Chain A
Amino acid sequence: MIQFVFYFFIFLTLASAFALLFVRQILYAVLLLLVVMLCVAGLFILMQAEFIGVSQILIYAGGVAVLFIFGIMLSDKKGFSFTKVAYTQIFSGMGIALVLGSLLLYATQAVKKLPNEVKVKNDVQQLSFELLSDFALPFEVTGILLLSIFIGVAYIAGKTNHTQS
């Protein structure tokens, strides 16, 4: 049962990601991204990283998706010109992505099969200890970073260009 859920999540992730390549409506793309995120969160939980999974759902589903939707609201307007992307660009982009993916797959062949089952206990507690001891400084720095980003983004997005408008 759990095995089935695992493969189902993997399949759903890959399928939604693949669908992203062909979607034209940006709102759909955001919804597909949301599906990918939720599936990945499910995979995290299956990998005994419940805290990370919950964070993934909170951050991506609650934050990033909303951000994207606001971005669409503020930028996707009629009258904007959408130049067609050149085919050379599409083919070269696809080609380089394919090559990159296949190279990485080839590289992971060296790993062969990883161990299948590992008994680990659920340790959110250990994670919190680590964050507040060994990673205390990066944790604080990240907080400061978030604060400054919050201010900076508010500043950038709020700035109106008087010469243009």
Chain B
Amino acid sequence: MNPTYLIYTAIVLVAIGTALVLTRKSLLFILIGIELILNAVNLNLVAFNHLYPQNVNGQTTTLFIMAIAICETACGIAIMIQVARQYKTITPSSIQDLKEQA
């Protein structure tokens, strides 16, 4: 039960989440990647809180992060639904409106 492994796990989760965010073609996958990264952060916080149990700041912060994560997911999916209505696609590479109109 060495928390060091949890930290390694968190790092791997971050890398996988990053890869998901960068490479997948669906907005849902991107959201899943973000969830993975946030979970890795939570994992880290809980592991360190386990090592230093004088206070429970780690766990408190985890709670807040969870709240914000659920907010972010809800927002993301709402936006995704709107995008699906608007562009008939949820592939981010098809949506280029940030670029100047060439």
CB neighbours of B39 from chain A (8 A): 36-37, 40
A60 to chain B, nearest CB (A): 8
Contact A14-B71, Cβ < 8 Å, known A114-B4, A118-B50: no
Whole-angstrom CA separation of A31 from B49 in the bound complex: 29
- CB-contact partner of A90 in B23, B62, B89, under 8 A: B23
Asked if B78 contacts A153 (CB within 8 A), the reply is yes
CB neighbours of B93 from chain A (8 A): 83, 85-86, 89
* Size bin of chain B's contact surface: 35 or more
Asked if B70 contacts A49 (CB within 8 A), the reply is no
Asked if B60 contacts A47 (CB within 8 A), the reply is no
B42 to chain A, nearest CB (A): 7
CB neighbours of B22 from chain A (8 A): 89, 92-94, 96-97
Contact A83-B70, Cβ < 8 Å, known A3-B1, A17-B36: no
- Using a CB–CB cutoff of 8 Å, the interface residues on chain A facing chain B are 2-3, 6-7, 10, 13-14, 17-18, 20-21, 26, 29-30, 33, 36-37, 40, 43-44, 46-49, 51-52, 55-56, 59-60, 63-64, 67-68, 70-72, 74-77, 79-86, 89-90, 92-94, 96-98, 100-101, 104-105, 108, 111, 113-118, 120, 123, 126-127, 130-131, 135, 138, 142, 145-146, 149-150, 152-153, 156-157, 159-161, 164-165
Q: A108-B7, A117-B1 are in contact. List 15 more A-B contacts (CB 8 A).
A: A13-B9, A17-B36, A44-B42, A47-B49, A48-B53, A51-B59, A52-B62, A56-B66, A67-B74, A80-B90, A93-B21, A113-B4, A142-B67, A145-B68, A153-B78
